[in-house]
Chain A
Amino acid sequence: MEQLKGKEIATTGSVMVVGAGISGMQAALDLAQSGYRVYLLDRRPSIAGTMPMLDKTFPTNDCSMCILSPKVVDIGSHLNIEVITLAEVVGLEGVPGNFTATVKKHPRYVDMDLCVSCGRCETACEQVVRNNFNQGLDTRKAIYKPYPQAYPNAYVIDGESCLSCGSCVGKCPRKAINLEMQPENVQIAVGAVILSPGFEIFDASERGEYGYGIFKNVVTSLEFERLLSASGPFQGHLVRPGDHKEPKKIGFIQCVGSREPGRERNFCSGVCCMYATKEAIVAREHVPGLASTIFCIDVRAYGKGFEQYYERAMGEYEVRYVKCMVSSINEIPKTGNLLIRFRTDDGVLREEEFDMVVLSVGLSPPKEASALAGALGIELDEYGFCRPGESPGTTTRPGVFVAGTFAGPKDIPETVIDGSAAAGCAARILNDSRGTLSRSKPQVEEKDVSGENPRIGVFVCNCGINIGSVVDVPSVVKFAKGLRGVVFAEEFLFACAQDSIEKIKRRIKSQKLNRVVVASCTPRTHAPLFMNVLREAGINQYLYEHVNIREHSSWVHRNNPDRATVKARDLVRMSVAKVAKLSPIETTFTEINKNCLVVGGGASGMTAALSLAEQGFGVHLVEKEEKLGGLLAQLRYSMEGTEPSEILAGLTEKVTANPAITVHTGSEVSYAAGFPGNYRTTIKAGDSEEEIIHGAVILATGAAGAQTSEYLYGDSGKVVTQTEFEKKMAAGELKGIKNVVMIQCVGSRNADRPYCSRICCTHAVKNALKIKEQRPGVNVYILYRDVRVYGLNEKYYTEARRLGVGFFRYDTDKKPVVTQSHDGLVVEFDDHVTGFRLAVDADMLVLSTGVDPARDNEKLSQLFKVPLNAEGFLLEAHLKLRPVDFAADGLYLCGLAHSPKLLSESIVQANAAAMRAASLLSRDKMENVAITAFVQEEMCAGCAICVRVCSYNARYMDEFTGVAGVTEVLCQGCGACVAACPSGASQQKGYEKGQMMAMMREVL
């Protein structure tokens, strides 16, 4: 076998990512950044998956599109990512490291190289069809762009609806439409495959009793997202679809297509409780006074910041949660209102009227799952999700990895983590071919234009008719020709088209231009394109100004063409004045040290260290205890049946045997300095200190099992924590016991510790199943507030109930009472179903005490200048999209240091953190942000306000000169110091005061 030759055969340095949602995008970016070529496939005409459809995201209420767009732009502009839309994998031959994938490309009928998205075809098309992006709440044409920000930025014909009438073909000014396009199969050589095809939502019409599809004011949660969204069918005005009236009272029904063993959906979708909570909050922000009721079984607010968000929903937004079973929904014909009939715990059937009902639909495996499984030779689980291989992120076929919701329902941060982790798994097997297929920008020598008088070229775009039909483009060109410094001006039908780009490049050379202004559409998407033209023409790319005469002139002043033209001229005049004053900005680089420091030698730290070592980087693993293992050493069982002790032994052995890993046990970080790519850290072991130099840091410092003094803990030997119980079980110390009572949320979800510890419900169920397995006769009572056994683990909860484990809900105002009698413990509590008060003689009382943040977090946060959240866990750069990064490059986190999580989740996050670090370490040098702050030293009075306002630690005081400075490597160019500087000494490159004043003078 070829594989046996090991390192001698070269692998293929490319990876195919199937499914370009948020997890596929993350995997693609991480791999491309670390030297692999990536083929990013999606069966849809545009990338980004489901996230663009969401309005806002919990628990920060960030706009979904706003946080997503930058990643889409990164994908689109990355040289090493080839996006292949409307494509599916139909076959995979070969072995890990050397696969050949067969990809079927479906026809788009629009040539993406020619299409500039002007939209004339759409106007011409007469075929109106359901708009899937808006969940069918409105319509689109058969030729369409899924949504304005869609990438690739090109139209597509929906082959199923197109009548082939050809009316669009003639209207296209770029001759981009070709109705004759045929599907084609291509073969692509790749070293590994990552599957991230995402999910479908559950078809709500399967639950006939809810009347979805019959009653107009019953909508799915995804439809509701579109109703809330500013880019949705009603521009963010919340109305019900039936009569477009604003609803005042909304009912949310949870677990529609989730937690239904009878329907062969014995899993929890993991996200619905939170998105319903978010939708209720956002709805109330749209309609003041709107009342929302969420009908649910449990409220599963188990993630970081979720419990607090849920509390806020109940308090600040008056969202009502009703724990019950909903039996039916009926429409009141006259009003279109809906009558929800539900049975509460006490067995009483009630009815309540609502203006609108939202069905919180669950997540299903993607439609193409079985086809995909067949084509790739992987196995699916009983629901159709991807069956995991031996470790999280793997599939049953080596070299094929899985990420995101295809591996089971999960929320966005876990999906993003999955993406990075799967990328890491691929990179581990492709280490020898890193960089062999990646491409880099050709270097062009830059002409020195300093000392030259400005020779400005102005290029004005018609954007088809987008600009030209309103703004008098020829007059803008004529006007520009008369401005001081302008030596050339020209108009284009589409300035961004490839032939125009080449023309601009020729003009720069023939007219000896040294500065360029393009007046077209938004700089957000197009400025980088034109800046690259300058670069390729040998001019510093920052000698460029972009004018947006589409959004700012033709679109907003559509009804007033004359004034729109005047404004376009004014804008051009301003930019010409500014561009004349610009000076070149040098792009600088930082060398990157190839070693990584991993702090914390538990499961996460060891996993991260191994991943990095196998990817070819040196690792210093620092553990404060004398032995590696962390909290993993305290576990005896896992839910899936693997032995934690075996995992620990395996990890420890691999880590200690790996020559690239230097293990520092009994050690602590005592000092840290430096910046991304070049950190200097002092490690202290006893009295000896050692300085190590490294390029990145992963903080995997874990957490602590929380202690308690509640429920007679410490007073009675029969009261133990969940971990202690597990140890006793493993040691066979539970002989002769009959009754075990477990109390959940001991010390969690209260005023002192407002967060949910996430793992306790799963641990309780795991230990209940174990004791039932060991001693079937033992009675187990679990007293809970909400059962938060989320995702695919739901089946274990079902199994526990099937085995007779009793689950009893208690409220915080009526906690269980534990008393010690002469012959044992008595636990008293209410049965929430019968209403009876029960008393159990407990042979063992097990307390789920939850997780406390590690005590060292405070110190680490100061050493590495990274933030903590209010609860004392390390706080990542962004809760949704940057779950393992800190704000500054080079600093990453994983495991329990981030928040409470299960072992498997810690391992995935550790893989992700390692991959994020690798994407930095694999580069030889890092391009620094060019638009940074700088100091005019003679003006600086040394007041140090800049140092105080800088969020990136990029500003400092030079103690010798008393003048402030900028650490360019750290500066992100946010401009806060520039705004705060009272002396005008802090300035922003490319936005200097003199440059801005020149611009303003032209407009005033």
Chain B
Amino acid sequence: MKNYILPVDEKGINHSLASFLGRMLTEGIVGMIMAPADAGSGKSVIMSMIKPEGLKWINPFAPVTMANSARLVSDLTAREAPGEKIGVFMRSCETRALIELAKHNQANLDNIVIIGMDCMGTLEPADYSQLRESGEFKAGDWMAASTAGEYKGKNIRRACSVCGHVEAEHSAIHLGWVGIDHSKNVLVSVSEEYSDWVSSFLEAAGQPVVEGRMKLLEEIVSRRDENKIKLYEEMAERAGSLEGLLKELSGCIRCYNCRQVCPLCFCRECVFSSDMFRHEPDYFQERAGRRGIMAMPADKLLFHLTRINHMALGCVGCGQCESACPGKIPLGIIFKMAGEKLQGIFDYLPGRSLEEETPLSTYREVELEPR
């Protein structure tokens, strides 16, 4: 990756970025750009734009992810690679999820240009909407305050507070602002393929800029790791026993929101929506009969354990499941904990590389050894 400086003009970071992206469209670098934008109502939505005019709405640094954009790339490309290049704004968790989807033929990266950006975490969507609607949200303020992990009394999502990924991996073009004076500059890092184009209108970044930023990133990661250890301990205390886990899951109403928003849950028909779990009526009587009592809806534990079983190897820890849960079940952390354990056994890191085969489709003799 080569580093360049995108100067921020007096109209702000989004305006400067819009003109950068405008060039991408008009100069044919990409044919479409998909980016988080303001819907005017104070909500953030993801929009696909093919004309530069639409770019005035973009607001990618807003600390909110309404949906994991990996799923959207899957929608755009799963059946067939798009005919022209599409630039997609993505955070780290999204790029890693995208890699996992691509491994499973659920996305085709051939014409996808990942425009990655630094992510210091996002707020719960409701919190963000509230700040926006009350007019309290200022992008610049958030960016300045973000390294603290808290903004105007709202915490970043729990999954983000333990996330060690600030930069978005696998980016073709990456926008860095953490550890940069982002009122003046954005650090644009680009892959070989785009460096000629970018160098035609941007200045190269000096070494000190980059070095200072790297140091800060390391600090953030180690702080997040500390948070993680603390949170894992706390969660092991809460959900590390069967009683504890059942207590945590007791709020589940099997609304399947977690399944719906999970970027990796790509089955076309979930087994839990299939006939297999449409029980015969006497099934309930028999189940209840065994212990004299049973919780409804049935199969809550089985549903979540099955999902963990299915997703843990690929879980990138984005925490969307937790944000979408009406029962506030700490699913994100439970999944991440289980995931990291399992991934460790197979020395597998989801989202690390497209070439890394999923443990399910490979076999190594060491797997026979007890661990």
Interface positions of A (Cβ within 8 A of B): 938-945, 948-949, 957, 962, 980, 982-985, 993-994, 997, 1001
Contacts and interface: CB of A to CB of B under 8 A. Distances in A.
Contact of A994 (B79, B275, B361): B275
Given A944-B105, A993-B276, A994-B275, A984 B361 contact: no
Nearest to A939: B269
Given A983-B269, A984-B267, A997-B276, A944 B104 contact: yes
A943 B106 contact: yes
A312 to B, nearest CB: 14
B271 A945 contact: no
Given A945-B360, A962-B79, A982-B360, 12 more contacts: A939-B274, A941-B104, A941-B266, A941-B267, A942-B78, A943-B104, A945-B104, A948-B361, A982-B104, A982-B310, A983-B268, A984-B267
Contacts of A993: 271, 276
Contact of A938 (B269, B275, B358): B269
Given A939-B268, A982-B267, A945 B358 contact: yes
Given A962-B79, A980-B360, A983-B268, A943 B105 contact: yes
A942 B104 CA distance: 8
A737 B269 CA distance: 83
- The 8 A-B residue pairs with the shortest CB-CB distance, nearest first, are A943-B104, A983-B267, A948-B361, A939-B269, A944-B105, A943-B105, A941-B268, A984-B271
A949 B360 CA distance: 8
B276 A943 contact: no
A994 B283 CA distance: 15
Contact of A949 (B269, B274, B361): B361
Interface of B: 78-79, 104-106, 266-269, 271, 274-276, 283, 310, 357-358, 360-361
Nearest to A994: B276
A521 B199 CA distance: 78
Contacts of A949: 360-361
B2 to A, nearest CB: 35
A237 to B, nearest CB: 24
Contacts of B104: 941, 943-945, 982
A812 to B, nearest CB: 29
Nearest to B80: A962
Which of A941, A949, A997, A1001 has the most chain B CB within a 10 Å cutoff? Answer: A941
A985 B105 CA distance: 15
Contacts of A939: 267-269, 274
B192 to A, nearest CB: 29
Per DSSP, are chain B's interface residues mostly helix, strand or loop, or mixed? loop
A754 B279 CA distance: 61
15 contacts: A938-B268, A938-B269, A941-B266, A941-B267, A943-B104, A943-B105, A943-B266, A945-B358, A949-B360, A982-B104, A982-B310, A983-B266, A983-B267, A993-B276, A1001-B283
A994 B277 CA distance: 10
A942 B105 contact: yes
Nearest to A993: B276
B268 A940 contact: yes
Contacts of B358: 945
Contacts of A957: 105
Contacts of B268: 938-941, 983, 985
A488 to B, nearest CB: 24
Contacts of B310: 982
A997 B360 CA distance: 23
Contacts of A982: 104, 267, 310, 360
A126 B269 CA distance: 66
B252 to A, nearest CB: 21
Contacts of B357: 948
A533 to B, nearest CB: 32
A403 B105 CA distance: 52
**Which residue, B283, B310, B361, has most C-beta atoms of chain A within 10 A?**
B361
B303 to A, nearest CB: 14
A569 B328 CA distance: 45
A116 to B, nearest CB: 40
Contacts of A980: 360-361
Nearest to A982: B310
Nearest to A949: B361
Of B78, B267, B358, most A-chain CB atoms within 10 Å: B267
Contacts of A997: 276
Nearest to B267: A983
A984 B360 CA distance: 14
A440 B16 CA distance: 82
Contacts of B78: 942, 962
A957 B78 CA distance: 14
A559 B268 CA distance: 51
A983 to B, nearest CB: 4
Nearest to A948: B361
B121 to A, nearest CB: 29
A962 B283 CA distance: 37
A451 to B, nearest CB: 18
A943 B264 CA distance: 11
A985 B104 CA distance: 14
Nearest to A997: B276
A964 to B, nearest CB: 9
Nearest to A936: B269
A948 B360 CA distance: 10
B4 to A, nearest CB: 38
A942 B77 CA distance: 13
B368 to A, nearest CB: 15
A961 to B, nearest CB: 10
